[in-house]
């Protein structure tokens, strides 16, 4: 931020005395970066965290004064938000499927559509126990941890190429009291013995799928802060990870086992065709809450 911008920001913050003032200041300063609805949502998220009040209380008591410490912390948060940093990284956590997950720039921020994928997996396996599931490209660990907490009698494996991501995922497993087996490996390379000898009932993956064309449409709070390793694929090989993971699933899934993917909405039919060519059955392409092709389920 320029010196002038900093001075103006400081002038605004001098008046951030009440909850209502905080909402107004965040709205005024963040308008160039976010839509009004997003600003209100993230301001509420920050104020809930810093004041310990509920959203309803914040709205009902907008004239209540903030402490000096709260104003200082809000100032620091706003400074980071003005760089484009996502609020989840600023706060250091996010909510996913009813649980709290630590997030840093080493892992992707879990999205609502991934919650829909988790729900689809949970509905598919129901109350079956003694199943073995694996999440490939686990990031924060939100998928396997959520599924483990849904049915604690099942065995969950989580795979990622990034040791930093696995460190975060392990912390999340401990904080959520979920017993997960973590494996560090590059899924594009030969499988390590630790998973090559196993047979799974379900394999899930939300792999990298963002192309260069997609990147140009994305907000800078994604492209500037979230890990590129977990996001991007070559324009000339957009199904790179899907093809490899489908091959892995052919080897490691039991007969009748399920493969679930979160996908690039632009490649739903191509992904379905690829899976059919590899012999997968009962291929179902599902839309997310926004009506976009975002998930696939098939059977080995």
Q: What is the pLDDT of residues 80-108, one digit of tens each?
A: 999 989 999 999 999 999 999 999 999 99
Number of residues that this document lists for the chain: 300
50 and 184 share a domain? no
Among residues 83, 117, 152, the one where a domain terminates is 83
Q: Residue 260 above 90 pLDDT?
A: yes
Tens digits of residue pLDDT in 151-197: 999 999 999 999 999 999 999 999 999 999 999 999 999 999 999 99
Domain for residue 91, yes or no? Answer: no
Domain for residue 132, yes or no? Answer: yes
Whole-angstrom distance, CA of residue 202 vs CA of residue 225: 31
235 and 155 share a domain? yes
63 and 115 share a domain? no
Residue 39: predicted pLDDT: 92
Q: Residue 7 above 50 pLDDT?
A: no
Three-class secondary structure of residue 262 per DSSP: strand
284 and 180 share a domain? yes
Provide Rg for the chain, Cα atoms.
Answer: 21
226 secondary structure, DSSP code: S
For position 127, which CATH number holds? 3.40.50.150
The alpha carbon of 86 is separated from its chain's Cα centroid by a whole number of angstroms, namely 12
Q: Residue 261 above 60 pLDDT?
A: yes
Q: What tokens were used for 59? A: 């709205």
Residue 70 CB partners (closer than 8 Å, separation 6+):
50, 51
Confidence of residue 34 (pLDDT cuts 50, 70, 90): confident
Confidence of residue 17 (pLDDT cuts 50, 70, 90): confident
Q: Residue 130 above 90 pLDDT?
A: yes
Report the chain's mean pLDDT, rounded to a whole number: 89
Residue 213: predicted pLDDT: 61
Confidence of residue 221 (pLDDT cuts 50, 70, 90): low
Domain for residue 213, yes or no? Answer: yes
Per DSSP, what are the bridge partners of residue 134? 157, 203
130 and 269 share a domain? yes
Give the range of the structural domain holding residue 76, as residue numbers without chain letter. 3-83
Domain for residue 230, yes or no? Answer: yes
For position 33, which CATH number holds? 1.10.8.10
114 and 35 share a domain? no
Domain for residue 95, yes or no? Answer: no
Percent of the chain past pLDDT 90, that is, above it, reads 76
pTM: 0.87
252 and 128 share a domain? yes
Tens digits of residue pLDDT in 46-63: 999 999 999 999 999 999
Q: Residue 209 above 50 pLDDT?
A: yes
Where do we find the tokens 């890990």?
227
Considering its fold, how many domains does the chain have in total? 2
E strands along 76-154, which residues?
93-96, 99-102, 132-136
Tens digits of residue pLDDT in 139-149: 999 999 999 99
Per DSSP, what are the bridge partners of residue 261? 205, 296
Percent of the chain past pLDDT 70, that is, above it, reads 86
The CA-atom distances, in angstroms, between 164 and each of 111, 147, 180, 231 are 20, 22, 16, 16
Task: Determine how β-strand 200-205 pairs with β-strand 132-136.
Answer: parallel
Average pLDDT over residues 127-137: 96
154 and 257 share a domain? yes
Residue 224: predicted pLDDT: 61
158 and 238 share a domain? yes
50 and 110 share a domain? no
Residue 176: predicted pLDDT: 98
Nearest Cα to 162, choosing from 222, 258, 226?
226
Average pLDDT over residues 204-211: 84
Tens digits of residue pLDDT in 224-259: 655 666 656 666 778 999 999 999 999 999 999 999
Average pLDDT over residues 121-137: 97
Domain for residue 100, yes or no? Answer: no
Confidence of residue 9 (pLDDT cuts 50, 70, 90): very low
79 and 132 share a domain? no
Average pLDDT over residues 127-150: 97
Q: Residue 126 above 70 pLDDT?
A: yes
């Amino acid at each position: 931020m320029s010196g002038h911008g900093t001075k103006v920001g400081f002038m605004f913050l001098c008046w951030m005395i009440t909850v209502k003032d905080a909402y107004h200041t965040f709205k005024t300063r963040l308008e160039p970066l976010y839509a009004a609805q997003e600003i209100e949502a993230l301001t509420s998220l920050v104020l809930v965290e810093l004041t310990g009040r509920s959203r309803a209380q914040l709205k009902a008591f907008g004239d209540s004064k903030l402490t000096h410490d709260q104003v200082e912390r809000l100032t620091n948060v706003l400074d980071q938000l003005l760089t484009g940093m996502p609020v989840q990284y600023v706060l250091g956590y996010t909510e996913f499927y009813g649980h709290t997950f630590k997030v840093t720039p080493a892992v992707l921020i879990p999205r609502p559509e991934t919650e829909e994928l988790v729900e689809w997996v949970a509905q598919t396996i129901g109350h079956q126990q003694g199943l073995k599931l694996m999440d490939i490209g686990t990031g924060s660990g939100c998928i396997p941890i959520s599924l483990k907490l849904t049915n604690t009698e099942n065995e969950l494996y989580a795979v990622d190429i990034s040791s930093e991501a696995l460190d975060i995922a392990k912390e999340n497993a401990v904080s959520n009291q979920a017993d997960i087996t973590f494996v560090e490996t590059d899924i594009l390379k030969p499988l390590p013995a630790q998973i090559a000898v196993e047979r799974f009932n379900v394999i899930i993956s939300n792999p990298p799928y963002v192309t260069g064309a997609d990147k140009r449409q994305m907000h800078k709070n994604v492209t500037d802060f979230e890990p590129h390793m977990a996001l991007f694929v070559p324009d000339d090989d957009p199904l790179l990870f899907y093809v490899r993971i489908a091959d892995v699933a052919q080897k490691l899934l039991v007969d009748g086992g399920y493969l679930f993917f979160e996908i690039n909405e632009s490649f739903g039919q191509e992904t379905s065709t690829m899976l059919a060519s590899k012999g997968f059955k009962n291929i179902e392409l599902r839309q997310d809450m926004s009506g976009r092709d975002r998930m696939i389920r098939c059977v080995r």
